Chains A and B, each alone.
Chain A
Amino acid sequence: RKEVEQDPGPFNVPEGATVAFNCTYSNSASQSFFWYRQDCRKEPKLLMSVYSSGNEDGRFTAQLNRASQYISLLIRDSKLSDSATYLCVPLAARQLTFGSGTQLTVLP
């Protein structure tokens, strides 16, 4: 079983749509969780941290379920500029483990 599992997609959605990505992780010792965004042929960049109570940053909402070892990212009112690959990243023992990512394309 992979340490981090994500639906690779691609998710093709129209502008303005709401889209959700899911992620499961296998290391129960994971302490912190992040979503990174990676544009085509670019480096990963931190999108947001994921807190136990769930957190929101503008149009983005992240949720964590430690019991199920599950993380989600919700994007509301999708913009063309949201097109990218979204990487789920748990942290354990001071080491980030990257999922393979979910590809999102927002269509005009």
Chain B
Amino acid sequence: EAGVAQSPRYKIIEKRQSVAFWCNPISGHATLYWYQQILGQGPKLLIQFQNNGVVDDSQLPKDRFSAERLKGVDSTLKIQPAKLEDSAVYLCASSFSRDSNIQYFGAGTRLSVL
């Protein structure tokens, strides 16, 4: 079974530039999550989708971050404009449903903002 796919694996940008990350969840998984993991910390949930609807985006900095999952499968996360403190690994995870406690993570996108 294919896992959660993310791209790109690495991205280096300058502050105030824009960047987008892509995620393809495990086939059949209705719930998709984006996490931010800063070095030395655990992953922090940014946004959760159930199919193509947002379930929880309370921790998403909406002035600069946006995410969508238009067809209920792939998702993109965008940062515009990026700040130095956005340097982190952005992890996408999926689960079969909201009631499924087990989340499967992609390898992540490592973002460096210079």
Contact of A43 among B45, B98, B101, B106 (CB under 8 A): B106
Number of A interface residues, CB 8 Å?
A: 21
Residues of A within 8 A of B91 (CB): 43-44
The answer to whether the Cβ of A45 comes within 8 Å of any Cβ in the partner chain is: yes
Contact of A100 among B40, B56, B102, B105 (CB under 8 A): B40
Chain B interface helix/strand/loop/mixed: loop
Cβ of A4 and Cβ of B42 under 8 Å apart? yes
* C-alpha gap A98/B91 in the complex (Å): 13
Number of B interface residues, CB 8 Å?
A: 18
* Residues of B29-44 whose CB lies within 8 A of A: 40-44
* C-alpha gap A98/B101 in the complex (Å): 13
Cβ of B42 and Cβ of A100 under 8 Å apart? yes
A91 CB, nearest partner CB in chain B, Å:
6
Across the interface, name the chain B residue whose C-beta is closest to A93: B56
1/0 contact string of A1-40 vs chain B (CB within 8 Å): 0001000100000000000000000000000101000000
Residues of A within 8 A of B (CB): 4, 8, 32, 34, 42-46, 49, 87, 89, 91, 94-101
Residues of B within 8 A of A (CB): 40-45, 48, 56, 91, 98-99, 101-103, 105-108
